[in-house]
Structure formats: C-alpha cells, structure tokens
Amino acid sequence: MPDLPPTLCASPGLRLRTEYFGALGWTIVPRRIFHLGPTATVLAMLYQQPRSTTLCPDALQVVQRRFAFSASAVMGTLEELHTSGVLRATAAEPQPVTADDVHQAADEAETTRPRTKVLKPFWVHLQPFTRCNQHCVTCYCSGGPKADPFLLSPADWLTAIDKLDAYGVLDVYITGGESLLYPAFFDLAEHILRRGLGFGLSTNATILGGGRLERLRNLGYSPIQVSLDGGTPATHEMIRGVPGCWNKTLDGIRVIGEFAEVVINTVVNHINLRELEQVVVTGMDLGVRHFKFFPQKPVGRANPATTLDDATITQTLLPECVRLADRYDVEIESIDPKAGCGSGSIGFAVDQRANIHPCIFGVENPDLVAGNLLTDDLDTVWFQSPVFAPFRGEVATVCRRCEAPCGR
C-alpha cells in the first residue's frame, strides 16, 4: 500500500449527503459522484478539516468497535478516499483525530442515515409559473397567455432553491410556461448557477427582445433547449397555437447558437411523428447537432388520441431516432425502454404553489400532492409520503405511464 500523505482534508468543493448505505459525495467542477460505505462516510466527515492520517489508538479502537474494521482496513479506506479524489493532501496544520471526534461523526452519520432503501433526490423540476406567449396543444400544464403568472414571490423561490441545495439535490431545472417572459427567471437561474447546482433551460425562443437575449447571453449557460414541434411551418404553428411563430423560432435558434449550444426539443405525437427527419434537417441548417424527441403525455391539453402508444414508441419512434442519428451523424435522445425516467424515485417536481409532486406531468392533479417544499420537512415528504409509492416500483411499460396514476 502506498504511503499516505501526513495530512489529508476533503477535496475543494466536496459535498456529502447521507444515504441508507452510507453517503454520496460529489464535487461540482468537475462533476464527480462518490459512493461511500459506512466507514468511508465517517472518515469523509472527519476530514472535512485538515487532519493527520495517523489516528490515535483510542480513535482506532472506536472505529474497530463501531464498524468491525481492523486498523489496516481503516488505513486502506483512507487510501481509497485519497486515490479516488474524495480527500487530498494538504500542507495545512492538521488536527488530530480523537475518539470523541469519531464518536461524533459516527453518531451524526447514523442519526441522519435514511432507513428506507431509497436514494435522496438527485434532481428537481421547479415550475414557478405557467404563463406562456404560446398555447401548445401538447402542454401538460395548460399553460398559455391567460395562465397564472407567479403565484409565489421570487424571494420564496430563492428560499426553495436554498432548501433543495441544503438537502443535497444536485440539479434544479426551471420549467414553465415560457421562462423568458419573466425577469425574475434570470434571478433564479443565476442563483442556481452561483450555488453550483446543475441547471437546465428551455425556451420557445420567440421573445428575445427587451434585453432578454443579452441577459440570456450573460447567463453564460449552455446548452439551451429550444422547442421545435414540426418539420414544417404548418405543423409547428398548429401545435404551438401561434401563426407565424415558425420563422421567429428559427431566428431564435440562429441567434442563440451564436453563444450557446442549441438542443432542439420536439414533443412527439401522431401529428409530427412523420416530420422528425425534417426537424433534423432544419436544425442542421442552423448548426444544431443535438435533438430530443420525447413522446407526448396525455395530460393537460394533450389529446390522448394523438399520444403514441408503447407499440408506436418501440416500433416507430425509437428506430427512427436511431436511423436519423446514423444517417445525419447527430445526437438524438429519446426514452430508454430499459430504464424508468426517475420521477418519484430519484427526482420530483414542484408546482407554482411549491407543492411537491412525483412527476412534472402530474402537476395538475391535486391527488398527487405529496407535500409542500416551503412549509414541510423535505425528508419526511420524500421518505414517508404514500404518493411516491406507485412511482417506485418496477417499470411495467416502455414509457412510465404517468397519466395512469394522474388521471384526467
């Protein structure tokens, strides 16, 4: 075993959250995630400050007694934490590791460890607003020009973001509605990025005036998703509910592409299924190389009659995605029949009243409210609300049918 440096401490920016198996550690830049067992968790907690790698005999005895680890196994775990990048060498003056330190860290790890074999959430969709300058027939939340603006203050949403960050959520995505309608959107986005959280941004790219384009540029975020719901002006404008929006969308893609990667997002249904190749060609003409073709969910305004069934998804949509990716040498994302989407099991959604839902496609269903992000204890909601139970079983269909528990 290589000699350990005399002093170790947590790598810069390392964060920890306890899990049922021990803890997850992660760094922000670069994004790396570490799976830590019980002993590694306690050692990572101990070394949040510079400490000597020579544990005093009393401290070693506590580790051995509480974790049935030999002295050599403890040192081996420290070496693994150092090699993996969880801990790093430092020239700072070290603090000794005492028996009391070990007891305190072990007690904290045990007290905060979830008893349910469910991971804490990795991501959250925040929906602070549903107002939009368009009126899409595919909209899952019935957004549009007459929909509600902010029902809570931007300050409330900053508090919500802070709470998610403190809980150990890694990624926070803001959805709507049309995000660029609101100056406060940029305040929320900047707050998320300052805290080092993962972020996602989607727009219809048709309202870039009034200083919005400059604020979007100054945000410094990439990629930016832009909605293009057809390969022809007629289809796109029919789905988006706004005559003349095709050219504005293409202009938006073009100017956003000058400072960020653009990802074209298409909600696929029976109306536009046969136009995906035209979407790819149109996007490529504008410099786009990345596309997302995900099937419509029959919630909100979306018509069940235009929604793809599992057979159409597996036999038509997914093979078409493969064909187009190969033919045009582009990246195309769609659903993975072998995996669930993670809603309710590794992530959740928050509606414009800060109510917590398992899935963003269920935000209109009051029966799927699990709690409230601002007023309830998030740990209690995540691990104890019965609303999440149906979303944590085996995926029985190609695409988790969120509309089944959601209803209409």
For 268-301, write each residue's pLDDT tens digit: 999 999 999 999 999 999 999 999 999 999 999 9
As a whole number, mean pLDDT of residues 13-23 equals 96
pLDDT band at 2 (very low <50, low <70, confident <90, very high): low
| Pairing between β-strand 347-350 and β-strand 355-357 as defined by DSSP bridges | antiparallel
Least confident range from 103-117, 281-295, 332-346: namely 332-346
For 360-369, write each residue's pLDDT tens digit: 999 999 999 9
Nearest to 277 by CA among 332, 239, 359, 234: 332
Q: Which residues contact 296 (CB under 8 A, 6 or more apart)?
A: 138, 267, 268, 269, 302, 306, 307, 308
pLDDT of 117: 94
Q: Examine the pLDDT at 406 and tell me if it is beyond 70.
A: no
Count of Cβ atoms closer than 10 Å to residue 2 Cβ:
7
Q: Examine the pLDDT at 408 and tell me if it is beyond 70.
A: no
* Mean of the per-residue pLDDT values of the chain: 92
As a whole number, mean pLDDT of residues 365-383 equals 96
pLDDT of 402: 46
pLDDT of 1: 47
Terminal Cα distance for the chain, rounded: 61
What is d(CA 60, CA 66) in angstroms, rounded to the nearest whole number?
10
DSSP code of 402? Answer: T
Check if the beta carbon of residue 163 is closer than 8 Å to that of residue 209. Answer: no
Q: Please tell me which residue, 112 or 30, carries the higher pLDDT value.
A: 112
Least confident range from 47-56, 66-75, 128-137, 215-224: namely 66-75
Least confident range from 156-165, 189-198, 219-228, 337-346: namely 337-346
pLDDT of 342: 86
What is d(CA 90, CA 74) in angstroms, rounded to the nearest whole number?
20
What is d(CA 51, CA 92) in angstroms, rounded to the nearest whole number?
9
As a whole number, mean pLDDT of residues 397-401 equals 50
What is d(CA 330, CA 285) in angstroms, rounded to the nearest whole number?
12
Kindly report the pTM of this predicted structure.
0.92
pLDDT of 193: 96
pLDDT of 404: 36
pLDDT band at 405 (very low <50, low <70, confident <90, very high): very low
pLDDT of 395: 57
Question: What is the token pair recorded at 267?
Answer: 């909600």
Q: Examine the pLDDT at 235 and tell me if it is beyond 80.
A: yes
pLDDT of 396: 57
pLDDT of 399: 52
